[in-house]
């Protein structure tokens, strides 16, 4: 079985539920992130990490399990960088801030591109979020990530597409 098929099966079977107010499966967000990364011609390891970026926090899956399923150390490392620390007892927003701090420290362009693709898909589907979450994305997440990633990813199409979307809809 190809790694893509394994990753797709993981998200489809482990990320439960639907996007708020729709009959769209919650895992479709992960597919959209993957599609954005593929659209920009990123390496397979990066695209697979984008597909798997929510499976740890939303799908009761461990990094060790990803390794045992044959995903490369690079893919697993990217998933780890793009995942909230689920062992933390802090709120979701606090876990998100800590994840962003880890990303800033790592300064890994590929990890940032995954988070930017993640945020771009979420920004495009704000109507499937609670009003508070959509407002937090629009007022905090998007401007913060565009600011902290400008130097490392500002020349990339994903960054530019998110910046354009924010300028028109922010």
Rg (CA), the chain: 15
| Mean residue pLDDT across the chain | 93
| Element spanning 36, H or E | helix 28-39
What are the structural domains of the chain?
3-169 (1.10.3210.10)
For residue 127, what are its two tokens? 């109507």
How high is the pLDDT of residue 76?
A: 98
How high is the pLDDT of residue 85?
A: 76
Distance CA 66, CA 22 (A): 30
The segments of the chain whose pLDDT lies below 70 read 1
Convert the pLDDT of each residue in 88-105 to its tens digit.
Answer: 777 778 888 999 999 999
How high is the pLDDT of residue 147?
A: 97
> pTM for this structure?
0.94
How high is the pLDDT of residue 22?
A: 82
């Amino acid at each position: 079985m190809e790694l893509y098929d394994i990753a797709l099966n993981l998200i489809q079977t482990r990320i439960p539920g639907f996007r708020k107010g729709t009959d769209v499966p919650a895992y479709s967000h992960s597919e959209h992130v993957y599609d954005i990364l593929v659209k920009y011609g990123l390496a397979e390891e990066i695209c697979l990490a984008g597909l798997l970026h929510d499976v740890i926090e939303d799908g009761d899956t461990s990094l060790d399990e990803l390794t045992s399923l044959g995903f490369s150390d690079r893919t697993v490392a990217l998933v780890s960088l793009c995942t909230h620390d689920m062992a933390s007892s802090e709120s979701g927003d606090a876990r998100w801030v800590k994840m962003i701090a880890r990303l800033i420290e790592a300064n890994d362009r590929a990890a940032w591109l995954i988070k930017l693709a993640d945020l771009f898909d979420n920004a495009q589907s704000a109507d499937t979020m609670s009003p508070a979450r959509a407002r937090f994305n629009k007022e905090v997440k998007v401007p913060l990530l565009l600011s902290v990633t400008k130097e490392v990813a500002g020349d990339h199409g994903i960054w530019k597409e998110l910046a354009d979307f924010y300028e028109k809809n922010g």
